[in-house]
């Protein structure tokens, strides 16, 4: 595969063709990403309104956001949510991938296809399904609790259970892809390592501890970071399932921002909030990108 030089430099530069083929992507990105981004940057310094003259207010919007308890709470909610979803999802899919790896090829093909299906389901449909599962009187969740003689729970209406209840569909949606990425990571570990370890008398646990986990480090790290950014940004599930309730217990940062967009007075605020969030999430994904890009360049 290619090493450094990716361009056929021995052939002359071809500016015209290059610009012609690049024009669509550059124009579209400029109109729909770059301009809105700089526009947002500007608006974040204004007391902005659809209906009247905007006023320059400096960093006041940022100040207001950072001192708004509701925003800080939403960030905390987003963190709690990610902490519920990501570790659970990673552990489950790691264990499951280890099991699937040993299946006969025919059956594992079927399993891989099936577990991937939830990944392609929309947040809206997932929410509709899980709202029914959590239904107080007729839902599956309380029906199963009933087997053990436990009183029914108002899953989405109780402060204690609302956020974990939304975490479950998030895990369901992400489990398939995570497992398949784990599985392909497991397949990349040479079988000879395990054989050698077995000759030395290593048990299942030792093999996992000293071979599998260290060699899976990059995959797990990647999934951890992408998982965290994705889950902190989650808002569709809480929008549809609880609309942020009860008592804004399930308002994630993006839902906070979305709710404020609807409120004209708060537009500058919420844009400032989204830019603050952008700095954090954007730098995280920039780091991932650097790591992936550099590895690609190194072993090419």
Partner 1 sequence: MKTLTATQKTIITVISALVTLAALFPLLWVAIAGFKERSEVLATPFRFFPKRWLVQNYTDILGDWTFVQSMLVTFGGAVLFATLSLAVNAMAAYVFARLDFKFKGFLWVYVITTMFVPGMAILLTSFIVVNKLGMLDTLAVLVLPGVASAGHMFFIRQFYLNIPLALEEAALIDGAGRIRIFTGIFLPMSFPVFVIVGIGSYLGYWNSFVWPTMTITNPHLFQIMQYLYTFRSERATEMGMLMAGSALSALPTIVLFLIFQRHIISGIKISGLK
Q: Residues, the chain, total?
A: 300
CB 167 to partner 1: min, Å: 15
| Residue window 121-160: x/- pattern of binding to partner 1, with contact defined by CB under 8 A | xxxxxx-xxx-xx-x-xxxx-xx--x--------------
Region binding partner 1 by CB under 8 A among candidate stretches 60-68, 83-91, 154-162, 184-192: 184-192
Select 70 or 159, whichever has its Cβ closest to partner 1.
70
| Residue window 206-225: x/- pattern of binding to partner 1, with contact defined by CB under 8 A | ------------xx--x---
161 in Cβ contact with 153 (< 8 Å) = yes
Identify which of 270, 272, 251 has the alpha carbon closest to the alpha carbon of residue 75: 251
Return phi, psi of residue 135, to 5°: -55, 135
| Residue window 234-253: x/- pattern of binding to partner 1, with contact defined by CB under 8 A | -xx---x-------------
Question: What sign does the dihedral 20-23-25-28 (CA atoms) show?
Answer: negative
169 in Cβ contact with 126 (< 8 Å) = yes
Name all contacts of 292-300 with Cβ < 8 Å and 24+ positions apart.
292/222, 297/4, 300/1, 300/2, 300/3
Question: Rounded to the nearest 5 degrees, what angle is found at the Cα of 228, between the Cα atoms of 226 and 234?
Answer: 105
Select 138 or 247, whichever has its Cβ closest to partner 1.
138
- Asked whether position 17 contacts partner 1 by CB under 8 A, the answer is yes
Site residues for partner 1, 66-95, by CB under 8 A, read none
- Asked whether position 189 contacts partner 1 by CB under 8 A, the answer is no
| Residue window 47-66: x/- pattern of binding to partner 1, with contact defined by CB under 8 A | --------------------
Region binding partner 1 by CB under 8 A among candidate stretches 65-73, 83-91, 158-166, 277-285: 277-285
238, burial (CB in 10 Å: exposed 0-12, middle 13-18, buried 19+): buried
- Asked whether position 263 contacts partner 1 by CB under 8 A, the answer is no
CB 98 to partner 1: min, Å: 9
């Amino acid at each position: 595969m290619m090493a450094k030089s990716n361009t056929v430099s021995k052939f002359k530069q071809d500016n015209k063709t290059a610009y012609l083929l690049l024009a669509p992507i550059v124009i579209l990105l400029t109109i729909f990403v770059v301009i809105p981004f700089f526009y947002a940057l500007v608006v974040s310094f204004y007391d902005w309104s659809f209906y009247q003259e905007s006023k320059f207010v400096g960093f006041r919007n940022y100040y207001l956001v950072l001192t708004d308890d509701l925003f800080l709470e939403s960030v905390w909610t987003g963190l709690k949510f990610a902490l519920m979803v990501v570790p659970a999802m990673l552990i489950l899919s790691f264990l499951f991938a280890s099991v699937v790896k040993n299946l006969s090829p025919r059956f594992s093909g079927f399993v891989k296809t099936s577990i991937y299906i939830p990944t392609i389901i929309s947040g809206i449909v997932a929410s509709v399904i899980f709202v029914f599962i959590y239904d107080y009187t007729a839902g599956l969740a309380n029906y199963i609790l009933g087997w053990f003689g436990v009183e029914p729970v108002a899953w989405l209406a109780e402060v204690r259970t609302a956020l974990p209840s939304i975490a479950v569909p998030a895990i369901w949606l992400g489990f398939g892809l995570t497992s398949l990425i784990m599985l392909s990571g497991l397949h990349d570990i040479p079988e000879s390592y395990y054989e050698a370890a077995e000759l030395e008398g290593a048990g299942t646990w030792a093999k996992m501890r000293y071979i599998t986990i260290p060699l899976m480090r990059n995959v797990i790290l990647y999934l951890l970071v992408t998982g965290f950014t994705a889950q902190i940004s989650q808002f569709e599930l809480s929008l549809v399932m609880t609309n942020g309730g009860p008592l804004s217990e399930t308002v994630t940062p993006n839902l906070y921002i979305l709710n404020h967009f609807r409120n004209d007075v708060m537009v500058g605020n919420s844009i400032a909030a989204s830019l603050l969030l952008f700095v954090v999430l954007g730098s995280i994904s920039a780091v991932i990108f650097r790591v992936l890009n550099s590895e690609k360049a190194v072993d090419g």
